[in-house]
Amino acid sequence: MQTEQTIREQLNQVFREVFDDDSIEISDEMTAADVEEWDSLNHINLIVAVERTFGIRFSTKEVNGLANVGEFIALISSKLR
């Protein structure tokens, strides 16, 4: 069972890899507008990377409904339960 903290750390690592930027620090309020390379093309790469890292599967609907990174983290932890 992963705690929210570990999820956060792993997610941060995923962000750094996908967006090729080691200075990224995620926060709950962070959105696509805050990261330079986070566009529709890279969004899917992010989703794929998260799915592989955590071994989960998202649906289009779930992914569409996310407003910020905080909700993403909540979604991931709900999937892991």
Q: Which residues bind other proteins (CB under 8 A)?
A: 20, 39-41, 43-44, 47-48, 51, 58, 60-61, 63-65
- C-alpha span between 34 and 2 (Å, rounded): 27
Judged by beta carbon, residue 43 or residue 79, the one nearer other proteins is: 43
Closest contact distance (angstroms) between CB of 6 and other proteins is 24
Comparing CA positions, the residue from 62, 70, 78, 61 lying closest to residue 26 is 70
Residue 27's H or E segment, with its range, is: none
**Least distance from C-beta 30 to other proteins, angstroms?**
20
